[in-house]
């Protein structure tokens, strides 16, 4: 892994009911994620994906970049910005920023329909 290298892209299209399964799995039943009518009533276009689900996809892309060994993912820091929606493809991509002391720092971004839903994500992988 060298600075400037791209990590393999991860593309995922969460289906319409994914937010319900993620709510059950995580315990986060905030209605903005699972109730389209409630979401619209508070000014959103529709129910939005859980930010921590989006972050889990960023983590998956980095574990994949580390050869699939989850023990290699040592740190992940993200900022939540745009909103993600079900039934639209999400692309996670990343670039190696630096390599030192047996660790690689990966700048990662998650985009959906041209919007960055997670940006300034930084992952640290053990090499």
Partner 1 sequence: MNESLKGKSYPPVDYEVGREKIREYANAIGATAPENHDRDAAREKGYRDVVAPPMFAVVYSWMAMAAGVLDPEVGINFARMLHAGQEFVWGEPVCSGDTITTTTTLADLYERGGMEFYVFESVSVNQDGQETARGTWTNLVRTG
Q: Which residues contact 90 (CB under 8 A, 6 or more apart)?
A: 11, 12, 13, 14, 54, 57, 84, 110, 111, 112, 117
Should residue 11 be labelled a site residue for partner 1 when binding is judged by CB under 8 A?
Answer: no
- Smallest CA-to-CA distance from 119 within 87, 89, 98, 91 is with 91
Q: Please pick, from the candidates 79, 87, 89, 98, the single residue that binds partner 1 as defined by CB under 8 A.
A: 79
Residue of 7, 34, 48, 59 that binds partner 1 (CB under 8 A)? 59
Q: Which stretch binds partner 1 (CB under 8 A): 22-30, 33-41, 95-103, 104-112?
A: 22-30
Pick from 22, 48, 65, 93 the residue near partner 1 by CB under 8 A.
Answer: 22
């Amino acid at each position: 892994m060298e600075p400037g290298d791209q990590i393999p892209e991860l593309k995922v299209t969460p289906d319409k009911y994914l937010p319900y399964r993620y709510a059950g799995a995580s315990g986060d039943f905030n209605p903005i994620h699972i109730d389209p009518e409630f979401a619209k009533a508070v000014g959103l276009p529709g129910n939005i994906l859980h930010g921590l689900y989006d972050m889990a996809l960023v983590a998956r892309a980095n574990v994949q970049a580390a050869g699939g060994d989850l023990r290699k993912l040592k740190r992940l820091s993200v900022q939540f910005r745009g909103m993600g929606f079900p039934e639209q493809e999400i692309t996670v991509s990343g670039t190696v920023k630096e390599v030192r002391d047996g660790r690689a720092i990966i700048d990662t971004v998650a985009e959906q329909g041209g919007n960055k839903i997670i940006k300034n994500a930084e992952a640290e992988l053990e090499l």
